[in-house]
């Protein structure tokens, strides 16, 4: 990271705006935006992510940073009429991290920077409140000790608990100035002992160390884990916000709170948030003391409440979206400390998007950008069966929807351990903190006994799309003894519980689950316009209609039987993009395939093929009927033949045992020979795909005949079959030419015999690098291409897909070699670039070449955007992913239109 001489590393809040998130981080950009909107934001400035990047690359802050901070600090001091740490009347500041994306796991906040043994006295005098000053000082030492100097946070908590116990009180507000003074001495000793240095008394040193700690917090293990999970690039760095302090802990006329401009779970308008009197910000989010609902603020301080409501309306109208905010009231004066477009549940995202369209705040194209395929997928999860008999244990706040069932575990370590061995677990805690992140990831759901909708557990679970019930106060969680008690019942570690993140209910045992209403809607069992259709279904219906209206990509299904095809059709499939015929060779038919493989003479082979023909034909008739009027791409046999034969070891043992008994079976012996002959070191690169068709006489011809005869039968039954024949694993045009010649002849024969004109097309998969590189030539013989991005990824990377995910992908993900498996999201730079050039070359040869994709990537949101961009005609994916692909195809088109017109 090189430094540019004129680069500016510090921006005053008045200099930024919300579009500068890359540079100022989300928090900094929004503080600037609110400042410019004229909202009451305490003055301050932001150190850019660029400064952080220099620090992370070189281990030192940019040379110019110190002077720039000095200049901005001087300006802030002039504005506030006091100096940082000044002994008689100190200016105090908060230091907060703020990356482009909100990231739990990074250092959050250090408040009250500027307090020292001297200035605490000045602050007490200025505020006329000694208790407040010492409380602020002990908070500084605690937060600074923990996050900047790396002291174990528990040590401070324990000292605080002891101070409360000594005084026989339960809440910290009952400690007076003298108690807090003693606590400060104790805290300082903890710091000196644990950090090996005194707590710094110099205000500027405090500030500089805190800034450096924020930079370093970008690379904590928790932050890295979160980034990997959320696919946040690891090189963005964080900004640092330095903001003059306002105090919510000055007495009962002060306080702090968090709020949403509308309900983040339903999207409904209303007053949603928590308020805590006489407290500083972190107290609310940590769920340490019990908050009151925001609506109660009206009775506590009506002026501030009214002002807050007006500001929330201003923010929603300005951001045209749900916002969440943090605020503080200092002796009746309201201050805005943070805002951002708020996280929401998947269901609320759909509802809010349509509500905002109805309010005229956004248009349909924008509504599509407000939701995504991952959220839709989440809404398609099953829910608990309302008719089931259940044992209700208690009820908490419905913090993140879904139905989760699992064994109770009471710490993160066990959650991770058990889930690794295949157990489903529910992580139960009194409240969570960033240390619980890996346990939360490993768990099916999260249950806490404390904290509200804005507690750590709730916010993080919503972000992850994980089921969460929080603040279930009836539950007595005892993490040390690994159990919880509710009423008289005791739930031990390992007992099964079920939690409902949509209602907040907690049940003992396993509650059966039922399909989601969104799936019922897609299945056609619930109509969006019906009286009993819920609001969510209506919102999904509208958004899907927007997506279908704008999308260019068609969406097909990977399906190989009539049942899947019909479901796919109900879900909106516009055809079948991949019917894998290998499944039609299994089960009872395996024996026929064995005959084919073991055939010594043409006669034997022909007999085996003729036995398979009617069975194949019947499959196709059913499929064409299910997809009547829509294209059905049938792929000729692809997998290596040994897959249809018995396992080599099993068979060897069987033969050996039989020989020992002198009871050898002739057929088994022949089979074993065939298995040996067909055994390959690397079957994925062996005798499979088109190669099979070229060396097993009559195999592809039989399949083509079955397709053609099935199509003819459907035609004669007045159906509208639209079959497309697809040849797998082609690497060179010559292979395709030979298969095609044979296929054309068979089709012509069937047409003549049945008196029909079938209009079958013949194309190929592009799933080998050579096929992609010679796509221009291959297009001479292919009427369509379907990119087999599973095999293409495998062969471009040289990864055996059946082996690598289990063996070393975790290491690769951990080392950041890729952020996500290339088998999940298309590797745009490598595999994607071959797709792009093959599209161009193929179309150059044959302008009307039809182009699609049928690898797993066809249903992956990010990959769908890529396929839109490179100009494919369709994506094909498993039936359940079709709605997601439709939505993402719509989003891709709307996004492209938006950027064209900009």
- Cβ closest to Mg ion, residue 52 vs residue 875: 875
Would you say 501 and 467 are in contact if contact means Cβ atoms under 8 Å apart?
yes
Report the partner that residue 580 touches, choosing among Mg ion, ligand PEP, none (CB closer than 5 to 8 A by kind): ligand PEP
What CA dihedral angle connects 307, 311, 312 and 315, to 10 degrees? 180
Report the partner that residue 390 touches, choosing among Mg ion, ligand PEP, none (CB closer than 5 to 8 A by kind): none
d(CA 501, CA 498): 10
Q: Which of 854, 857, 868, 877 is catalytic?
A: 854
- Cβ closest to ligand PEP, residue 276 vs residue 765: 765
Q: At what angle do helices 562-570 and 602-626 cross, to 10 degrees?
A: 30
Q: How many Cβ atoms are within 10 Å of 60's Cβ, its own excluded?
A: 10
Q: Is 707 exposed, middle or buried (0-12, 13-18, 19+ CB in 10 A)?
A: buried
Supply the minimum distance, in Å, between the C-beta of residue 725 and ligand PEP. Answer: 15
- The contacts of residue 222 (CB under 8 Å, 6+ apart) are 104, 105, 106, 434, 435, 437
Report the partner that residue 854 touches, choosing among Mg ion, ligand PEP, none (CB closer than 5 to 8 A by kind): ligand PEP
Among 94-102, 459-467, 785-793, 816-824, the segment contacting Mg ion (CB under 5 A): 785-793
Q: Does 724 bind ligand PEP (CB under 6 A)?
A: no
- Among residues 791, 827, 856, 862, the one that binds Mg ion under rule CB under 5 A: 791
d(CA 789, CA 466): 30
Report the partner that residue 111 touches, choosing among ligand PEP, Mg ion, none (CB closer than 5 to 8 A by kind): none
- Among residues 316, 594, 767, 888, the one that binds ligand PEP under rule CB under 6 A: 767
Q: CA angle 760-733-613, nearest 5°?
A: 40
Supply the minimum distance, in Å, between the C-beta of residue 451 and ligand PEP. Answer: 45
- Among residues 113, 543, 854, 884, the one that binds ligand PEP under rule CB under 6 A: 854
Residue 823, CA distances (Å) to 450, 657, 794, 864, 883 in order:
40, 42, 8, 14, 20
Q: Does 767 bind Mg ion (CB under 5 A)?
A: yes
Residue 239, CA distances (Å) to 45, 111, 205, 212, 243 in order:
10, 17, 19, 11, 13
Q: At what angle do helices 119-127 and 130-143 cross, to 10 degrees?
A: 140
d(CA 737, CA 18): 58
Supply the minimum distance, in Å, between the C-beta of residue 678 and ligand PEP. Answer: 18
Report the partner that residue 575 touches, choosing among ligand PEP, Mg ion, none (CB closer than 5 to 8 A by kind): none
Q: Which residue is at the shortest CB distance from Mg ion?
A: 791
Supply the minimum distance, in Å, between the C-beta of residue 637 and Mg ion. Answer: 12
d(CA 462, CA 399): 7
- Among residues 394, 396, 788, 852, the one that binds ligand PEP under rule CB under 6 A: 788
Number of residues that bind ligand PEP (CB under 6 A): 10
Buried b / exposed e along 872-888 (16+ C-beta atoms within 10 A) = bbbbbbbbbbbbbbbbb
Clarify whether 456 is annotated catalytic: yes
Q: Does 517 bind Mg ion (CB under 5 A)?
A: no
Among 177-185, 205-213, 390-398, 783-791, the segment contacting ligand PEP (CB under 6 A): 783-791
Q: Does 120 bind ligand PEP (CB under 6 A)?
A: no
- Cβ closest to ligand PEP, residue 409 vs residue 637: 637
Return the closest-CA partner of residue 396 out of 495, 507, 289, 484: 507
Q: Does 580 bind ligand PEP (CB under 6 A)?
A: yes
Report the partner that residue 49 touches, choosing among Mg ion, ligand PEP, none (CB closer than 5 to 8 A by kind): none
Would you say 32 and 13 are in contact if contact means Cβ atoms under 8 Å apart?
yes
SS3 for 528?
coil
Among 111-119, 346-354, 388-396, 763-771, the segment contacting Mg ion (CB under 5 A): 763-771
Residue by residue, DSSP assigns 368-396 as HHT--HHHHHHHTS-EE-TTS--EEEEE-
- Among residues 145, 451, 788, 858, the one that binds Mg ion under rule CB under 5 A: 788
- Among residues 855, 859, 883, 890, the one that binds ligand PEP under rule CB under 6 A: 855
Would you say 832 and 826 are in contact if contact means Cβ atoms under 8 Å apart?
yes
Supply the minimum distance, in Å, between the C-beta of residue 429 and ligand PEP. Answer: 41
- Among residues 791, 827, 860, 862, the one that binds ligand PEP under rule CB under 6 A: 791
Residue by residue, DSSP assigns 183-229 as HHHHHHHHHHHHHSSPPP--HHHHHHHHHHHHHHHTTSHHHHHHHHH
Q: Does 564 bind ligand PEP (CB under 6 A)?
A: no
Supply the minimum distance, in Å, between the C-beta of residue 796 and ligand PEP. Answer: 11
Length of the chain as a residue count: 902
Among 186-194, 513-521, 769-777, 780-788, the segment contacting Mg ion (CB under 5 A): 780-788
Q: How many Cβ atoms are within 10 Å of 458's Cβ, its own excluded?
A: 31
d(CA 456, CA 611): 64
Clarify whether 854 is annotated catalytic: yes
- Cβ closest to ligand PEP, residue 414 vs residue 581: 581
What CA dihedral angle connects 598, 604, 605 and 608, to 10 degrees? -90
- Cβ closest to ligand PEP, residue 55 vs residue 784: 784
SS3 for 769?
helix
Max CA separation in the chain (angstroms): 106
Tokens of 306: 């009214």
Q: Which of 243, 323, 456, 579 is catalytic?
A: 456
d(CA 411, CA 480): 9
Among 610-618, 673-681, 786-794, 839-847, the segment contacting ligand PEP (CB under 6 A): 786-794
Q: Does 578 bind ligand PEP (CB under 6 A)?
A: yes
Supply the minimum distance, in Å, between the C-beta of residue 728 and ligand PEP. Answer: 7
- Cβ closest to ligand PEP, residue 304 vs residue 789: 789
- Cβ closest to ligand PEP, residue 436 vs residue 791: 791
Runs of H (alpha helix) within 455-552: 456-464, 517-522, 535-550
Among 145-153, 247-255, 271-279, 787-795, the segment contacting ligand PEP (CB under 6 A): 787-795
Among 106-114, 661-669, 787-795, 886-894, the segment contacting Mg ion (CB under 5 A): 787-795
Q: Does 790 bind ligand PEP (CB under 6 A)?
A: yes
Among 102-110, 407-415, 422-430, 784-792, the segment contacting Mg ion (CB under 5 A): 784-792
Residue with tokens 């839109």: 868
From residue 420 to residue 459, the character string flagging contacts with ligand PEP as x (rule: CB under 6 A) and all else as - is ----------------------------------------
- 806, β-bridge pairs: none
Would you say 456 and 412 are in contact if contact means Cβ atoms under 8 Å apart?
no
From residue 804 to residue 843, the character string flagging contacts with ligand PEP as x (rule: CB under 6 A) and all else as - is ----------------------------------------
d(CA 76, CA 44): 7
- 764, β-bridge pairs: 727, 785
What is the end-to-end Cα distance of the chain in Å, rounded? 32
Report the partner that residue 789 touches, choosing among Mg ion, ligand PEP, none (CB closer than 5 to 8 A by kind): ligand PEP
Report the partner that residue 883 touches, choosing among Mg ion, ligand PEP, none (CB closer than 5 to 8 A by kind): none
- Cβ closest to Mg ion, residue 798 vs residue 847: 798
Supply the minimum distance, in Å, between the C-beta of residue 787 and ligand PEP. Answer: 7
Report the partner that residue 482 touches, choosing among Mg ion, ligand PEP, none (CB closer than 5 to 8 A by kind): none
Number of residues that bind Mg ion (CB under 5 A): 3
Interface positions with Mg ion (CB under 5 A): 767, 788, 791
Catalytic residue list: 456, 854
Interface positions with ligand PEP (CB under 6 A): 578, 580, 638, 767, 788-791, 854-855
């Amino acid at each position: 990271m090189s430094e540019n001489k004129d680069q500016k590393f510090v921006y005053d809040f008045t200099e930024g705006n919300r579009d500068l998130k890359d540079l100022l981080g989300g928090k900094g950009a929004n503080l600037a935006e609110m400042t410019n909107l004229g909202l009451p934001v305490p003055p301050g400035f932001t150190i850019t992510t660029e400064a952080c990047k220099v620090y992370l690359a070189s281990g030192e802050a940019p040379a110019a940073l110190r002077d720039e901070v000095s200049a901005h600090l001087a300006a802030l001091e002039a504005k506030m009429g006091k100096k940082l740490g000044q002994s008689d009347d100190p200016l105090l500041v908060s230091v907060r991290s703020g990356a482009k994306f909100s990231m739990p796991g990074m250092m959050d906040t250090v408040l009250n920077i500027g307090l020292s043994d001297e200035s605490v006295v000045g602050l007490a005098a200025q505020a006329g409140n000694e208790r407040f000053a010492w409380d602020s000082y002990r908070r500084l030492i605690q937060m600074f000790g923990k996050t900047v100097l790396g002291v174990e946070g528990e040590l401070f908590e324990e000292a605080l608990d002891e101070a409360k116990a000594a005084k026989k009180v339960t809440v910290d507000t009952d400690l007076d100035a003298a108690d807090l003074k003693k606590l400060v001495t104790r805290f300082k000793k903890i710091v000196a002992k644990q950090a090996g240095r005194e707590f710094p008394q110099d205000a500027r040193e405090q500030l500089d160390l805190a800034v450096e700690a924020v930079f370093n917090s970008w690379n904590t293990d928790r932050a890295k884990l979160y980034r990997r999970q959320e696919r946040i690039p690891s090189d963005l760095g964080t900004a640092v916000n330095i903001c003059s302090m306002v105090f919510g802990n000055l007495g009962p006329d002060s306080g702090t709170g968090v709020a949403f401009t509308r309900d983040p779970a339903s999207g409904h308008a209303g007053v949603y948030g928590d308020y805590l009197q006489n407290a500083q910000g972190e107290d609310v989010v940590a769920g340490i003391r019990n908050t009151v609902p925001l609506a109660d603020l009206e009775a506590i301080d009506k002026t501030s409440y009214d002002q807050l409501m007006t500001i929330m309306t201003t923010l929603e109208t300005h951001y045209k979206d749900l916002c969440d905010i943090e605020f503080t009231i200092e002796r009746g004066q309201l201050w805005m400390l943070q805002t951002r477009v708020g996280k929401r549940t998947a269901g609320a995202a759909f509802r809010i998007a349509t509500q905002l369209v109805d309010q005229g705040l956004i248009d349909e194209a924008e509504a599509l950008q407000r939701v995504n395929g991952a959220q839709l997928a989440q809404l398609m999860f099953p829910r608990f069966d309302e008719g089931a008999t259940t044992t209700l244990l208690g009820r908490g706040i419905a913090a993140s929807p879904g139905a989760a069932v699992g064994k109770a575990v009471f710490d993160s370590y066990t959650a991770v351990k058990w889930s690794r061995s295949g157990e489903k677990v529910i992580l139960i805690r009194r409240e969570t903190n960033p240390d619980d992140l890996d346990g939360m990831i490993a768990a099916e759901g999260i249950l806490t006994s404390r904290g509200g909708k804005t507690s750590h557990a709730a916010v993080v679970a919503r972000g992850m799309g994980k089921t969460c019930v929080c603040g279930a106060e009836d539950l007595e969680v005892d993490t040390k003894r690994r159990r919880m008690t509710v009423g008289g019942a005791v739930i031990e570690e390992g007992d099964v519980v079920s939690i409902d993140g949509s209602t907040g209910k907690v049940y003992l045992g396993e509650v059966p689950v039922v399909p989601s209403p969104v799936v019922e809607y897609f299945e056609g069992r619930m109509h969006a316009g019906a009286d009993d259709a819920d609001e969510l279904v209506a919102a999904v219906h509208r958004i899907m209609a927007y997506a279908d209206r704008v999308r260019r990509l068609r969406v097909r299904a990977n399906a190989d039987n009539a049942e899947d095809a019909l479901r796919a059709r109900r879900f909106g499939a516009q055809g079948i993009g991949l019917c894998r015929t290998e499944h039609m060779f299994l089960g009872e038919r395996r024996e026929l395939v064995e005959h084919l493989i073991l055939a010594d003479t043409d006669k034997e082979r022909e007999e085996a093929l003729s036995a398979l023909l009617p069975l194949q034909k019947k499959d196709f008739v059913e499929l064409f009927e299910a997809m009547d009027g829509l294209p059905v791409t049938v792929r000729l046999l692809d997998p290596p033949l040994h897959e249809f034969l018995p396992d080599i070891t099993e068979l060897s043992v069987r033969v050996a045992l039989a020989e020992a008994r002198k009871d050898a079976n002739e057929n088994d012996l022949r089979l074993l020979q065939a298995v040996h002959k067909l055994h390959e070191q690397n079957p994925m690169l062996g005798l499979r795909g088109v190669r099979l068709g070229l060396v097993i006489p009559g195999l592809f011809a039989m399949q083509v005949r079955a397709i053609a005869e099935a199509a003819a039968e459907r035609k004669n039954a007045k159906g509208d079959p639209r079959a497309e024949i697809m040849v797998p694993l082609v690497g060179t045009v010559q292979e395709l030419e030979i298969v095609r010649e044979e296929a054309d002849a068979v089709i012509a024969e069937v047409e003549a015999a049945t008196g029909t004109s079938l209009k079958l097309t013949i194309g190929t998969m592009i799933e080998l690098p050579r096929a992609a590189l010679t796509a221009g030539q291959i297009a001479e013989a292919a009427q369509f291409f379907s990119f087999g991005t599973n095999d293409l990824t495998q062969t471009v990377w040289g990864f055996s897909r059946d082996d690598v995910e289990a063996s070393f992908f975790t290491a690769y993900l951990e080392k950041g070699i890729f952020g996500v498996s290339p088998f999940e999201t298309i590797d745009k730079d490598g595999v994607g670039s071959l797709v792009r050039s093959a599209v161009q070359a193929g179309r150059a040869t044959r302008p009307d070449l039809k182009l699609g994709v049928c690898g797993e990537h066809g249903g992956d949101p990010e990959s769908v955007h890529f396929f839109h961009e490179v100009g494919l005609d369709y994506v094909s994916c498993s039936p359940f992913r079709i709605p997601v692909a439709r939505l993402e195809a719509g989003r891709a088109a709307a996004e492209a239109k938006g950027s064209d017109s900009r």
